Amino acid sequence: MRRFLLLYATQKGQAKAIAEEICEKAFAHGFSADLHCISESDKYDLKTETAPLVVVVSTTGTGDPPDTARKFVKAIQDKALPADFFAHLHYGLLGLGDSEYTYFCNGGKIIDKRLQELGAQHFYDTGHADDCVGLELVVEPWIDGLWAALTKHFMASRGKEERNGALKMASNASQRMDPVKPELLRIESQVELLRLHDPGRKDSEVREQNTVNRNQSSAPPAESESSLTHSVPPLSQASLNIPALPPEYLQVHLQESLGQEESQASVISVDPIFQVPISKAVQLTTDDAIKTTLLLELDISKTDFSYQPGDAFNVICPNSDSEVQNLLQRLQLTDRREHCVLLKIKADTKKKGAALPQHIPEGCSLQFILTWCLEIRAVPKKALLRALSDYTSDGPEKRRLQELCSRQGAADYNRLMRDAHASLFDLLLAFPSCQPPLRLLLGGLVQGAPGLKLGRDMSQNSQMEDDSVFVLIVSWGLHVHRREKILFEELVSGEGTFSGSLTRDWRH
């Protein structure tokens, strides 16, 4: 099997999750991914690496590579290295960032530029994914195109080896192997993806899909425009390329609680969490302004609080009680909301490097976890839609979920899910036959730690009025999500308290 080296540099797990997705999809495309964190320098050696390299890099601080990449970046920035140090290396790089910051995707750009300076060559164009509008808009097509690029690279390498071998066997021969034309490579790589028969697919799945198609063909005439639950031709009649389903790895047990007290301190965070009253909240711009700005005054008189330029606030904003209760009712778990959630890795899981989700604290109730530890307001990712389709009994509903997560349904997903800021609960309401198990929601397919970063650069956006009042200016543009609008409305009302943590800026 064709091997490539897959490295990730992550701060809070996003780059790692994307690298793991690439690793899991590689096998289905005929590749073997050798996956490592970029900090694990004892497990790979770029100086002697002959396989193609794929790198996923996030950005932190004021445009810096993540902490896990510091040692790597320091090593490759050694000025004593010759210009051809990595001339043997062929690589593709995916950078993650947020365009609301000055140095967008700079962590990936630093590594990309230095590899080029040391002679490394791209076998695949660099991708820059923007968290401001949705990482998946770049990540998903970048991953989809990776397999064709790898195929082209391996075919070109094989052709080069064959030519070199022929020259050694007959040095006086004039015949040389012509390079394969890019057009033919693209056709061949696409043919690999368009297999009419998948031996790994069960007959029952084929029969089920045929039943879905028959149900759709006998359905009433389609409407002129698609909706969340209804598609129109050509999508409704198309063959679908849907994402591979991640291996199951988590077991969830609900145990009657012993009545222990729970608080925000139970929320897992690498940074200190504090809770302070909002003494003043004023919207400084008009409702029709392109960018909305708030002035917040926080009473920190009873908090041991200090900050420095470059820090940022992360607001820990709980999901509303009504949203949590609605979700519990939809999952048929209302009577078990106070039960303690116990997590365990499945003994027979095929997931490489499976680990318990870090955003789920031990010994907390189901209601606490749904309130504080899961971002149920966020737009569901395509991986979640793919998983939900397997727990949907109604044929047309199952087909529609598959369409929304497929490559062919990208336009519908963007318009009906991402642009409409549809939530997990919206999805479950729209597809009543979908009955997902709790492990699906806790296993990483739903974003963790509901929250929002407020302070962009505290040297510019904040100041101390005196020793007891902290003034924070908060601004956001047109891409703000519904969950953020709800939070801002709560902040402007001045009700309740400000709960959050102080960090070294934004991390992926």
Could you report the per-residue pLDDT of 215-261, keeping only the tens digit for each?
Answer: 544 444 445 789 999 999 999 999 998 888 878 889 999 999 766 66
Mean pLDDT of 274-300: 75
pLDDT of residue 286: 82
Q: Are residues 300 and 329 in the same domain?
A: no
- In the listed set 124, 153, 182, which residue is the last one of a domain according to the structure? 153
Q: What is the amino acid identity at position 357?
A: P
| H/E segment holding residue 316 | strand 312-316
Mean pLDDT of 457-479: 51
- In the listed set 96, 122, 153, which residue is the last one of a domain according to the structure? 153
pLDDT in tens, 80-136: 999 999 999 999 999 999 887 778 999 999 999 999 999 999 999 999 998 877 788
Residue 233 belongs to a domain: no
pLDDT of residue 261: 61
Q: Are residues 125 and 82 in the same domain?
A: yes
CATH code of residue 131: 3.40.50.360
pLDDT of residue 351: 83
Least Cα distance to 144 among 120, 122, 124, 121 occurs for: 124
Residue 97 belongs to a domain: yes
pLDDT in tens, 411-465: 899 899 988 888 899 999 999 999 999 999 988 777 666 655 444 333 344 454 5
pTM strictly above 0.75: no
Give the list of residues 6+ apart from residue 151 with CB closer than 8 angstroms, or none.
185, 188, 189, 192
pLDDT of residue 176: 43
Q: Are residues 292 and 371 in the same domain?
A: no
Report CA 53 to chain centroid distance, whole Å: 21
- The more confident residue out of 267 and 292 is 292
Summary mean pLDDT of the chain = 78
- In the listed set 98, 119, 153, which residue is the last one of a domain according to the structure? 153
Placement of tokens 């991953």 in the chain: 143
pLDDT of residue 171: 53
| Domain limits for position 497 | 272-319+451-503
Number of domains in the chain: 3
Residue 378 belongs to a domain: yes
Residue 185 belongs to a domain: no
pLDDT in tens, 1-15: 899 999 999 988 889
Q: Is 407 exposed, middle or buried (0-12, 13-18, 19+ CB in 10 A)?
A: middle
Q: Are residues 10 and 141 in the same domain?
A: yes
Q: Give dist(CA 231, CA 399) in Å, integer.
A: 10
Q: Are residues 380 and 471 in the same domain?
A: no
Q: Give dist(CA 360, CA 463) in Å, integer.
A: 34
Least Cα distance to 157 among 22, 7, 31, 2 occurs for: 2
How many beta carbons lie within 10 A of that of residue 175, not counting itself?
Answer: 7
pLDDT at 466 over 70: no
Q: Are residues 480 and 351 in the same domain?
A: no
Q: Give dist(CA 508, CA 60) in Å, integer.
A: 7
Least Cα distance to 142 among 56, 60, 63, 64 occurs for: 56
Beta bridge partners of 298: 278, 470
pLDDT of residue 28: 87
Local structure of 231: helix, strand or coil: coil
